[in-house]
Each structure stands twice: as structure tokens, then as C-alpha cells.
Amino acid sequence: MVRLGWIAQQSGAELHGDGEIPVSRIDTLVDADASAISFLTNPHYKKHLAETRAGAVILAREHLDDCPCAALLTDDPQLCYARVAALLAPSDEFTPGRHDSAVVDADATVDASAWIGPTAVIEAGAIIGPGVFVGPGCVVARGARVGAGSRLVSRVTLCHDVVIGERVLIHPGAVIGADGFGLARAAEGWQKIPQLGTVRIGDDVEIGANTTIDRGAIRDTIIERGAKLDNQIQIAHNVRIGEHTAIAACVGISGSTTVGRNCTLGGGVGLAGHLEFGDNTHFTGQSLVTRSFSEPGLYSGNMPALPNREWRKAVARFRHLDEMARKVNRLEREIQELQRRTKGD
């Protein structure tokens, strides 16, 4: 249990109410009890505010009159909620050492303050820095490096020579540094192109579960510091992701594409290869992007779902768009000719 006043001080929120109220966890407006602190970040849930049983609620000042309990007032409830949740989250502390079932090569370097979990494998030449947590079933291949304070939760695979920065969080099942999809067409089928680069991950990056980041074909694939990647993302060889860019689940980024700083990619976005996107470019979910965008802004590139009958009609019309465009152009020319003749008369 911690006191509400301490939470307000640590999160930078303005306290409205009794600072001695004890709270121990975060919960929703509907489910919270007096020991929980709740939050209102989406106006859709305002209907639950008046009846909440929470000990306190994080909210904007405009909603204070509807709050029946203590409040933490802030201009950005979402950010304040994130800070408070971090304060109340269970600790990630661990005891340094290695599990008896871990396999650590004699030529690997493992800092004394790191933890190597059950069945983890650390190959020759790998370097595990101070305070690193290598969870169950992880593989750190030859020559890979993991920076101080990073956490490989479980079943994470770092292929050879991958470089992980400091305080990086990698969730279960992620694979960093597998070969990119490099193939040349041959008469008898496909010729594999050796993937000679690696992957370099900057400080304070988070990589979601089952996300894959391919190694570069010649130069490296790079994820710059502070980038946040959701689950089940595919990043191909030689991609570069800029600082503090956030990418939602199921995004696919083709090879040699560069995404700038402070960008966002919504769920299911697909980026074609060899494109460049400037800083502060944002794409809504399911957008299919086949050209570069250098200017900051919000972009969308797909048609929302329609009733099936309407969709069938629209598809039928799509097939005639080129013919319709030619007819429109012809009609415009005819109108212009008529206007010219009228003026001449």
C-alpha cells in the first residue's frame, strides 16, 4: 500500500482530496474498490465515473465535478495513468546468477549481476551486460551483445552478432537477426543471397511477442532508441526505424524502407520496400503504403468495410474506372471545344 499523496507527487498530478488514502493497484472504473486507483482516459467511459467505488481517479479537470471520490488532476490522463501504473507495478528485481540447466559457453562473457534462466543458451563470444535478465529458453547466439539492464522475457532468440542496447525489453518469442528474404531467381529455382549484415537495437526499445526483425543483407537493420514495437510485427532486412516511433501489431515493413522519428503505424499497416517516410508521419490501421511520404501528417490508404452488397457493387465499378476516366476526359475536351466555339461566335 502507498499513500495517494505520494503517488500525486511522483506522477506530477494535482491532488484533489485526502492524500492519506492508501492504494495498492490500478483498476477500471467499474471494477475498482477503495484500495484501487482508477482512470478516465476515454470519454466513452465517463458514464461509469459517477458510480465508481475507486479510492481515487486520474482524470482531466473538466470531469472533476462528476467524480465522487478523490482525484489526481492532469492535462494528460493517459500519460499520468502510465506513470501511476509503473509506480504500482510489481518489481522486476531478480537475484543474479544462472540456473543449473542454462548452457553458457566458456568463451561467453556474462556480467556477475546478470541472470541466465532455465534452459537458456549463451553461445561463444556473446556478451551479457550488467543487470541483464535472460529468461527461460532464450538463445543468445555467437557474438551477440546485450546491453545493461535489458530484459529478454522468455524464448527470445538473438541470432549471431545482433547488438541490443541498454534497458531494452524483448517479449516472448521474438526473433532478432534471422536471415532476410534474399533470393535471386535461377533457372532451376531460387538462389539464396547470403545475409551479411546484422541487427542493431538502440537503448530503451521495446519489442513485442513473436515479432521478427531480419538481419541486413549487407548493411545492418537498425531500430533506433526509444522505438516501441507491438506483437507479431515483421521487419525485413535493411529497414531503419527512427527514434521514438511506435508500431502496432501485425505491421509488415518490406526491405530497405526507412521510417523517420516519432512516427506511428497503426495495426496491420503494410509498407512496400525501398520507401522513405519523414519524421512525424502517421498511418492509420490497415493502410497499404506503396510510395514515400516525406511531409509530416496523418495518412490513410484503404477502404473501410462496407455491407457486402455495397462492396460487390463498388468492386464491379472499380473494373470500369479506367474506361470511365477516358470518357470523362473526352467529355471535358468536347465541353472545352464547345466553349471555344461559343466565344468565337
Contact between residue 103 and residue 86 where contact means Cβ atoms under 8 Å apart: no
Q: Which residue has the cell 492509420?
A: 284
The whole-angstrom separation of Cα 198 and Cα 27 is 42
Which of the four CATH numbers 2.40.50.140, 3.30.2350.10, 3.40.50.150, 2.160.10.10 does domain 97-299 have? 2.160.10.10
In 17-123, at which residue ranges do the beta strands (DSSP E only) sit? 22-23, 25-26, 36-39, 56-59, 70-73, 97-98, 103-104, 109-110, 115-116, 121-122
Q: From the candidates 63, 237, 244, 274, which is the catalytic residue?
A: 237
Active-site residue flag, 237: yes
Tens digits of per-residue pLDDT, 197-214?
999 999 999 999 999 999
pTM of the model: 0.89
Q: Which residues contact 53 (CB under 8 A, 6 or more apart)?
A: 32, 33, 34
Q: Tell me which fold the domain 2-88 belongs to.
A: 3.40.1390
A 10 A CB-CB count for 92 gives 10
Tens digits of per-residue pLDDT, 49-79?
999 999 999 999 999 999 999 999 999 999 9
Tens digits of per-residue pLDDT, 24-36?
999 999 999 999 9
* Series of mean pLDDT values for 10-residue runs along the chain (345 residues): 95 96 96 97 94 97 96 97 93 93 98 98 98 98 98 98 98 98 94 96 98 97 98 98 98 98 98 98 96 96 87 89 93 91 75
